[in-house]
Amino acid sequence: MSVIENSKLTVVGAGAVGSSVAYAALIRGSARHVALYDIAPEKTEAEVLDLAHGAQFTGSSDIIGGADISVAAGSHVVVITAGAKQKPGQTRIELAGVNAGILKSMMPQLLEVAPNATFVIVTNPCDVLTVLAQETTDLPYERIFASGTVLDTSRLRWKIAQRAGVSIASVHAYIVGEHGDTEFPLWSHATIGTVPILDWVPLDGQPKFTVDELDQIAVDVRDAAYKVIQGKGATNYAIGLSSARIVEALLNDEHTVMPVSTVLDDFHGVSGVALSVPSIVSSAGAEPIRQTAFSPNELGLFRRSADALREVADSLR
């Protein structure tokens, strides 16, 4: 199946992230129609105008938007970015209470105007909000999921590629777990080409990777958002691009493997929380790859991530 004819993407939230998702989707031609919805009419109208003024340069996609939820009608994919943004020094989990309230009231309305859509939650803390949104809507797990660690994985691959002296596309490594402080890389599967990461000899004469260095890379990736927020107030370009990429995998029925965050059902013994694991993203939504193997240490980290998120979700119910 090729891209859905007349495919429609609605982005909910016209802030830094939402407008960046819409911008990336227009430039990449991710969907034929893009709609931007936000409860702030002037801001939304201004963003839509600014994007529409560049329509000559973005191929065949068009953009509409406004403060009436009817702009989302008939969407195939809805990307949700609405909510309070993360302040400098604030963790994603500290945002949970405010954004859970916003999402719970909005989801039934969105489902009413776009009953067949697949929903991608970008608003933080995205894993916790995915569980609450799924419970609110009773949608099948594959049709409501978070962008999860797709961006974190991109950050990881970028850092490894720089050090290894190869293109990002040749780095095969994933960040899994929470999109946040308990996330971790699946180092047991990380390769450059077919070479396990610790065996790779950089082409520029640098020494091989060490375990300590990989640990530091993992910390840098985990804390990358804090650094960006500290300097410019928000992360928006990279999450915009990664969200547009998820939309393409859905609309083009790609069956691409991406570490998105779905509500898990007995995945390595974990159920009822949303965590990122390598998943197949297609027009049917996102399906975790159950054969993904974890080392004993990674399994411990994964369960720790699940426990941390379960605690937050329980506090919001």
> Mind telling me the catalytic residues?
179
- Only one residue has tokens 């409501």, namely 144
Mapping DSSP to helix (H, G, I), strand (E, B) and coil, where does residue 274 land?
strand
Neighbours of 59 (CB within 10 A): 12
User: What gap in Å lies between CA 119 and CA 78, rounded to an integer?
Assistant: 5
Q: Decide the pairing of beta strands 77-80 and 118-121.
A: parallel
Contact at 8 Å (CB) between 160 and 173?
Answer: yes
Strand partners, 262: 275
CA atoms within a 13 Å half-sphere pointing along the CA-CB vector of 101:
4
Neighbours of 53 (CB within 10 A): 10
Contact at 8 Å (CB) between 75 and 6?
Answer: no
